[in-house]
Structure formats: C-alpha cells, structure tokens
Amino acid sequence: GAMSDDRMLARIAALLRQAENTDNPHEAEAFMAAAQRLATTTSIDLAVARAHSATRTAAQEPVQRTVTIGEAGTRGLRTFVQLFVLIARANDVKCDIASNSTFVYAYGFTEDIDATHALYASVVVQMVKSSDAYISTGAHRPTPTITARLNFQLAFGARVGQRLVDAREEARQAATAESADQPGTALALRNKDLELVSFYKKT
C-alpha cells in the first residue's frame, strides 16, 4: 500500500545521510536520485489513494508554505533559491520567490513540499561544501572568488536539479507502466496537476 508521509521522510533522510557521508560526487548524486524516486513513487501512491477516496480531509488538499532561504544580504542567496526551485519542480511544487530571495512561497500537496524541503536542506549543505572545496583548490583564479562561487553553485544546482527531474520521470514511467491495467494512475496525476494549478491561481 501507500507509504505514509512520515515513513517516506524517514527513508529519504536515510538516503540523504548516505549522500552526505560520501566524498564521491557521483555516489552522492545517485543517493539523491534514489531519494527523489522514493518521493515520486510515494507521491503517486498518495495521489491515486486520494483519487479513490470518497471523502477528503484538509490534509489531502494543496497547501501554501513559506520556506526561509536565508538572511537578506547573504552572498549567493539566488543560487540557494535556484536550487530550491529546481528541486520543487521535480516534486510538483510551484514557487513564488521573495524579491530579495530571502524566502519562497511553496504551493503543493503536503508530501511534495515535505520531500522538497528535505531534499533541499540536505543538498544545499552539500552544494556549499563542494563549493568550499573547489574554491580552496585555487583552481578558479584569476576569477574573483565570489564570482567563481556563484558560478559553481549555479552549475551544481542545475546539474542536481536535472538529475532529480530525470529520477522523477523514471519513477513516473515505472508507476504508469506497472498500472497499465488500471489507467487510474495517469488520470490521478492529471487531476492532481489541475488541482494544484487551480489552487495556485486562487491563492
């Protein structure tokens, strides 16, 4: 049956700890992708369950959540925002960004915002760690350090974001292939998209 949001988050956290504990960036990204596939699979199960339930609780409606990205004036804040937005995209979460990049309004189903937040909180730490390691080699010179750091973090975010989108597509294809006998899955996902769009427009 469908995994609960709490169980999903516990398993995602375990995968992300493995990503944080390896010095091999390819291995780290493989763990991130595994976490994303788990998030997507759980999200699809929950969408199908929602589609089949006659009555829905408030917990099954889309929500809006404010996510703090950093203090005003923090260097490189937009690279953190870009990372959050790319992870959100892989998890069916829509975002509005504060003009000074200090926070993001996230719109989506609870489990999707939870997964986005968990992935972001881990990946952003890895992004900064990788960025520090790169700068400390001095390989960026003569480019000024702040410029080099921003460029590195933007590239890191773009690469990981793409990896997560690919993982999401794999999980979606697997879920719709498995349920070829029940076209309900594709329909549930379409309805979910429509519901989120209408919630976002209303809010």
Q: What is the pLDDT of residue 53?
A: 80
pLDDT of residue 2: 61
Report the distance separating Cα 127 and Cα 137, nearest Å: 16
- Average pLDDT by stretches of 10, the chain with 203 residues: 82 96 94 97 90 75 95 93 97 96 96 97 95 95 95 97 97 82 80 93 91
- Report the pLDDT value the prediction gives residue 179, as an integer from 0 to 100: 66
Q: Which DSSP string do the residues of 110-125 spell out, in sequence order? A: HHHHHHHHHHHHHHHH
Q: Which amino acid appears at position 151 of this protein?
A: N
